[in-house]
Amino acid sequence: MARRERCSGCGINMLVSPEARVVRCSECHTLTNLVPMNARPGRTRYNGPPRMHENPYENGPSPQHPQYPQPRPSLSPVPIYGRKRALLCGVNYHGKSYKLKGSINDVKSMKYLLVETLGFPNDSILMLTENEREPSKIPTKQNIRKALKWLVYGCQPGDSLVFHFSGHGTRQKDYNHDEVDGFDEALCPLDHETEGNIIDDEINDTIVKPLTRGTTLHAIIDACYSGTVLDLPFVCRMNKEGRYMWEDQRNPLFYKRTSGGLAFCFSACDDHQTSADTTAFTGTNVRTGAMTYSFVQAIQNERRLTYGHLLNAMRYTIGDVSKAHGASQEPQLTSSDKFDIYSKPVVL
């Protein structure tokens, strides 16, 4: 006989079979571990959730990427309901031939924007840069991975999450064939030469898929080749006149949805373009990423910008700088859902 169980994500009641161990919510897609009826108090001993090699979807095929409860990350989340939380990573690659000079400046500018303009609590912002004293806050691959898990851990309705990365980006061959262009986009941590890059598949698995209903993530990625670095399914293609259309990059063989939440990504450029690290905006020797500068300035100048107006403002600001550098850099917007970009306001 079927029984009712409550979804651990959105809380709705679900009808499940008596022996079911795991069920996926049809509304928010959250996985809920269950105790079978014959394993409840006074009955046979419950042996725990299914092992990784077992298929919990006994009544149908499993999705491409089944989600299991994640262990609590070492960086404790901010215990505030409806909280704002941000992860800011700036990598200058000190001492390398490919070093940058503006990435840490970008992180400082973004933190100022979040705290002073957008009301983020100062202690809810985690910064990873080479200038940090704590070893756990140096932007190595391991530390960035841990911080990404911290960002989305325990996310609840009303949460506003921000991920900002300023540094090098790259492309590499797509080996699992989920990319339209045949390449995975990736971010380069400080130790990428020895530890490797963080590719878009992993970023999507870590901070996009766990987003529960009512949770919103905004990513601001100031790096080369970063157009689809979150692997979000919809790409906003905009022409010079500001007209746009959504390009659907969903692949039915790969599970790229959120768990009911919303994800948006502003990237410095398209997947085949590079981004500028420049002094053009400051009028001094202080370098900034063109994309981060244009994003911060647009938000500060007009608080109630829509996504379309923000994207246009960034492209207008960056246009002259790109021409001066002989480069082609057009900021991009990708999203977990399609919407009217000129009517929806940006709310961080």
Handedness of CA 198, 141, 293, 208 (dihedral sign): positive
Q: Compute the distance between CA of residue 227 and CA of residue 265 in angstroms, rounded to an integer.
A: 9
User: Is 177 marked active-site?
Assistant: no
At 210, list the tokens.
């766990």
Closest CA to 83 of 179, 1, 157: 157
Measured distance CA(42)–CA(18) in Å, rounded: 16
As a residue count, the chain comes to 348
Stretch (H or E) spanning 68: none
- Active-site position among 25, 89, 155, 224: 224
What single DSSP character describes residue 117?
I
The catalytically annotated residue of 29, 164, 168, 218 is 168
**Is residue 91 within 8 Å of residue 167, measured between CB atoms?**
yes
Q: Terminus-to-terminus CA distance in the chain, angstroms?
A: 46
Provide the greatest CA pair distance for the chain: 75
3-state secondary structure of 182: coil
Catalytic residue flag (residue 168)? yes
Q: Report the catalytic residues.
A: 168, 224
